Amino acid sequence: MRNLLPDLKLLEYSEDKKSGEINAAVLFVDISGFTSMTRKLMEQGKEGAEILSEMMNRLFSPLIDSVYDHGGFITNFAGDAFTAVFKNDNGLSAAAVALEMIEFFKLNPVFEYSRFSFSLSAKTGISKGVLKWISVPNNGPEHFFFYGKAIDEAAEAEHVCKANDISVTSEVFDIIKSYGDFEVKECGVFLLSLNLKPDDTPLVSEYDYEILSRFIPRSVLDHNITGEFREVVSVFMSYEIAEEADNIENTLSFFASEIQRYGGYISGFDFGDKGATVLALFGAPVSYEDNLERALNCLMKMRKNTPVRFRSGVTEGTVYAGFTGTERRAAYTALGDNVNLSARLMMVAPMDSDWILGKAAEKAGKEYELAEKGKHRFKGIDEEIDVFSVLNRHEKEGKVSFKTAMTGRQKELNEAVSIIQRSFDDSKLRVHAIYGEAGIGKSRLVYEITKKISQQCQKCQILHFSTDTILRQSMNIFNGFFQKFFKQSDTLSENENRDNFERVWDSISVEISSGKEEFETTKPYISALAGLVIKGSVYEILDAKSRYENTLFAIGDFFEILSGIFPMVLIFDDLHAIDKDSLEGFRTMMKKLNSSAVAVLILSRLKDDGTKPDFSLAEADCELSELIMDRLSATDIPVFVENVLEGRSSPELNEFVYKRSAGNPFFVEQLLFYMKENDYI
């Protein structure tokens, strides 16, 4: 099993000791040419990923072996750089390792594999002093963080190097100058050779699965792919932090818990040439459909809830995601231009801002308010790039629209409309559940259903409930609904939000012909779900259990009263991801609405085993119908292609699109748009 940790024994880590300091020599190594190698091999697809994995193993194996053979250990990898530590070393062991590394690069200036060749070299900096460390606990894995003067000075020494240079600090030079040859320049002191070989004992640093799982997510430990190219959102953050242990622990614990809560992976906390930084990956090793949304929501949540000043750079694109290193010492991370670009974007962003560019900015602009920050030039990119600052998320208003007409599904459309109309006619609750995979067209079908119903019944109300598939916090489906329904916003003051709530509440109240008293009793609970607690209300004085039970009743009563004003279509999106408490609220609603002019549309995916989620609607005494949406057939594709391309189609194109999309409507549409925009058709 790969060793994915620094050496716990040399750090004297234990359950009772999760921070400390050691006297050590520090070696900072930066490999040049790595980025261009990664970029070139990324152009080769799967073959390139396999070659890169092999090249990295050949590259890192002798470097890592040299560190551990001389009794050192690697604290962390940072892209094409890493930091090695030699406990109680006066600098001689670190110097011997640096010379071995540089000799390796001089003997192997060009790495060749198959038809590819790459020029590589290294720059190294050596310091000596006190190295501080802390293991940060949170609800997930612990994270190591190394910091102190020795770390800073090693990174600073490396900065004055050219290819295959070894720069040492003045303190290291004073101690080992009699053991070797040095060149003193205005910019620093450089090691040329040693005439004394240190007598080091090799370090064996091995851990079992149980120990590793305390520090490394199981998604990484169980990852059986050495490396792959995949779409990832890279978030590079730098932050201001004092070097007191308590302050570091609190700050890093907060960052770690929020990033992990939103589905991100922490590639590492680092304190090096870019200051205190953290690289968070959204999309590796675990990917979601909404990686960018998760990343930006996480940043906004952290910015809102911490006094720590930080800045970030956000990019999205293809990276090499996998293990850097060897069995002896490795780390799971991401490499490539997009990761490097997020780091460089972070460095030019001012503190207290989140900057974004490229594909990520284009996608984010649809959901978030962005401010233009002009064109910027970045290392490795010929052209200037438009940069934006992420301000906040748009309030979602208005109706969804689609670029093309719906293809097929006419039978399903008519059936759903008929079900809704019958509910309006006989005031009997009906639930129509629509199941299907992502992109299969559930939302598109519902759009057509609601458009047709709105034309037939202009007095009906169509209300949308969306499950938060990211955090899945208690009652999130009702929190989100009532916040929108009562026009609540993070950008408004508390008084403005209260005024909005009261205006909407009063507009409903005047329409109620019977049940006003019951309606008013729901107000403290509905208000709380919208994010406003009414001071002095019964909600405040109830215990947690009573508050929860009364909230469920209030949800049911509220919508039952609403259904007496106008017929309703209630649309519940992503109900497969509903949290336990929201599900209880949903069930309570259904029981209260069983004799109302209400139709409910459920949008859900099937479970991984192909079975339907259990929403337990038996007690609601309602008529339940179900639809499982299949992929488009080959005979559906020509019509779909003609809709998108306005009549341009051919048997060859239809076959190509069908095979590449596997009949998924969303993939069909996106593929056609891409081909059209890039003049492939």
Task: Quote the tokens at residue 228.
Answer: 């792959």
**Mind listing the pLDDT tens digit for each residue in 151-190?**
999 999 999 999 999 999 999 999 999 999 999 999 999 9
DSSP per residue over 62-83, as a string?
A: HHHHHHHHTT-EEEEEETTEEE
| Residue 165 vs residue 35, higher pLDDT | 165
- Asked whether the domain spanning 410-628 has the same topology as the one spanning 8-392, the reply is no
Q: What's the rounded mean pLDDT across residues 267-285?
A: 84
In whole angstroms, what is the distance from residue 648 CA to residue 661 CA?
A: 18
3-state secondary structure of 494: helix
pLDDT of residue 398: 46
> Sheet containing 598-604: which strands, arranged edge to edge?
461-466, 568-573, 598-604, 430-435, 623-628
> For residue 273, what pLDDT band results from cuts at 50, 70 and 90?
low
In whole angstroms, what is the distance from residue 636 CA to residue 658 CA?
A: 9
Give the rounded percent of residues in the chain with a pLDDT score beyond 70. Answer: 97
**Mind listing the pLDDT tens digit for each residue in 222-243?**
888 888 898 999 999 999 877 6
Task: Report which of 35, 101, 41 is spatially closest to residue 68, judged by C-alpha positions.
Answer: 101
Burial label, 242 (beta-carbon count in 10 A; 0-12, 13-18, 19+): exposed
Average pLDDT, the chain: 90
Residues with Cβ within 8 Å of 210's Cβ and at least 6 positions away in sequence, in order, are none
- Beta carbons of 281 and 294 less than 8 angstroms apart: no
Task: Report which of 136, 102, 138, 133 is spatially closest to residue 120, judged by C-alpha positions.
Answer: 102
pLDDT of residue 245: 62
In whole angstroms, what is the distance from residue 162 CA to residue 157 CA?
A: 11
- State the DSSP code for 620: G
Q: Directed axis angle between helix 337-348 and helix 34-42, to 10°?
A: 130
User: Where exactly are the structural domains of the chain?
Assistant: 8-392, 410-628, 637-677
Cut 0.95: pTM above it: no
**Mind listing the pLDDT tens digit for each residue in 351-401?**
999 999 999 999 999 889 999 999 999 987 888 999 999 998 876 554 555
CA atoms lying within 13 Å on the CB side of residue 492: 18
Task: Quote the tokens at residue 481.
Answer: 């609904």
* CATH number for region 8-392: 3.30.70.1230
336 φ/ψ sector (left φ>0, alpha ψ -120 to 50, else beta): left
Task: Quote the tokens at residue 357.
Answer: 């560019």
**Mind listing the pLDDT tens digit for each residue in 39-87?**
888 888 888 888 888 888 899 999 999 999 999 999 999 888 999 999 9
Highest mean pLDDT among 69-73, 139-143, 305-309, 664-668: 69-73
In single-letter form, the type of residue at position 551 comes to T
**Mind listing the pLDDT tens digit for each residue in 505-564?**
999 999 998 889 999 999 999 999 999 988 888 898 999 999 999 999 999 999 999 999
CA-angle at 487, arms to 452 and 433, nearest 5°: 40
In this structure, the chain runs to a length of 681
Check pLDDT > 90 for residue 282: yes
For the 410-628 domain, the top CATH level (class) is alpha beta
- Beta carbons of 130 and 6 less than 8 angstroms apart: no
Task: Quote the tokens at residue 195.
Answer: 């005439």
pLDDT of residue 272: 59
| Residue 67 vs residue 443, higher pLDDT | 67
